[in-house]
Structure 1
């Protein structure tokens, strides 16, 4: 009778251990790879004279060790209510990730010419935030990407 109780206890322990291992998230080691992670950046424009405010959300997804995709959505708010949503824009490109610095490269066509755009993002110590700066004809803007869970 004691042997039967020991096997039942052993079986319960093994089932408990396998159930716990399934709950453990499959989180990549961010010091080595970004593959499979998603990041979000929200940029809010200044309120306009008519009370409207543009909010741009950029979703960044690292597909594998060399490719990324982005999805950008712009919404216009007035008094806290969405009054307009622009058609989502998507792009893709390649990246390198070395020593917590990701260098993203995309190719776009402007005025019939192919232009290469590069964005450098630096990871913070907690591995939960990327920071980079974008410069265009309107000036420069700091982008902060926060890791999506």
Structure 2
């Protein structure tokens, strides 16, 4: 009887132990589930934050792409303006050179003709004042014997 009682107590203790072990396993499962839920909620909020950030980056990429295209258009427009301005500048420079050359020619002709006129007037007045002694310019009156002396006669 005592043996039955001891066996029964042993069986009761074993059942109680199994019950407590199941409760422990269930409690640890609940703790795992709570930890998993917390982890998942953290990950979900992180996923949402990353999704918002990705959306923001996508919008930023679109706006930057549009801005880049606008700037490329502006650059092409400015390059065209620079090219046209350079062409106009070249045309104006050519015209300026032509006008400057014509002006220099006109000024040179005027200055040279003015010099010739004064020289001729001086020779004419010398011929009037000294009719017996002045016959004209040396260059007009003589021809050098050799071509190499032409410059010397011109400079006298």
TM range (shorter): under 0.3
TM-score by length of 1: 0.28
| Greater strand proportion | 1
| Greater helix proportion | 2
TM-score by length of 2: 0.27
**Bigger radius of gyration:** 2
Structure with the larger RCO, 1 or 2 (CA within 8 Å, 6+ apart): 1
